[in-house]
Amino acid sequence: MASANFTRVTEFILTGVSDAPELQIPLFFVFLVIYGLTVAGNLSIITLTSVDSRLQIPMYFFLRHLAIINLGTSTVIVPKMLSNFLVMNKAISYYECATQLGGFLVFIVAEVSMLAVMAYDRYVAICNPLQYKVILSRHICLLLVSLTYLYSFSTATVTSFSVFSMSYCSSNVINHFYCDSVPLLALSCSNTYFPETVIFVSAATNLICSMAIVLVSYFNIVLSILRIHSSEGRRKAFSTCASHLVAVTVFYGTLLFMYLQPGTHHSLDTDKMASVFYTLVIPMLNPMIYSLRNKDVKAALRRFLTNVYCSYKLM
């Protein structure tokens, strides 16, 4: 139990990506560009999959929600991060920190779940193409997305509560650029066994269950592709999964590195760099991964830009 002489923390100080004064402005512009590309890319995916009639199938419905999640992940983190590059006092209030951690966990857990849902979507599309729109009806798609958000919100609530149920006393400097669970618990003056257990079990359960769905889906996809006789058919079937497979590999690889290390091997500076990757870089890359290899999305973008240009000329 914390001593009565401790002063309860009412705000935290974020050290940021780097505390070197000469790097603050260059880093501000680097991350501003990354965030700008993230917003532009994900808003484009959301817009195209919402307005284009040819993209009204389950695959693009799930892609739209992945874009919403990616946009949410970055937006919870980046605005505060950017403002801290420009000020000397990098403080964040206790309740603002709790809100940021909760919001971040909602979106990161939702992304883990959504990637698993998208793997199942690809399994149905390739292994049961004739029943694709029956198995993944609009009702089922809405149910899967709703369960994803409900589960992520519940997990984030439990984890955030366990972290902020700890006592934070005299030390308030978070060695990170946002409020994350591991650097926060490093500051606690309470016994952190319970929240650390909650975080580890939650992260391990989410990753194992999600990866099991992905691996089983792709195992069946590979078997189905191998049964296709024509090389053109195999190439086309594989191309429908390639973007998702790349996104899954990059995202899960980073999270496994971040959260499933033994506590004695954790380096907060290393975790900080991994966090930059999955909170900023991956949300920027996902729209590119899913659009550059996708003829439907590129065609939808051309139609959208043509319609905008024609509307502008008629004004």
pLDDT, position 38: 96
Distance CA 219, CA 51 (A): 34
pTM more than 0.85: yes
Domains of the chain, residue spans: 11-314
Sheet of 91-93: strand order equals: 91-93, 11-14, 173-174
Q: Give me 95's structure tokens.
A: 């309740």
The secondary element (H helix, E strand) that includes residue 120 is: helix 94-127
> What average pLDDT is seen over the chain?
87
pLDDT, position 303: 82
pLDDT, position 209: 93
Which CATH fold would you assign to the domain 11-314? Answer: Rhopdopsin 7-helix transmembrane proteins (1.20.1070)
Distance CA 267, CA 178 (A): 16
15-42 pLDDT per residue, tens: 988 888 899 999 999 999 999 999 999 9
pLDDT, position 1: 41
Distance CA 175, CA 256 (A): 21
Pair 147, 155: CB distance under 8 Å? no
Pair 70, 282: CB distance under 8 Å? yes
99-149 pLDDT per residue, tens: 999 999 999 999 999 999 999 999 999 999 889 999 999 999 999 999 999
Q: Give me 157's structure tokens.
A: 């609530």
Taking 70 as the pLDDT cut, the residues of the chain under it are 1-7, 258-269, 292-293, 309, 311-315
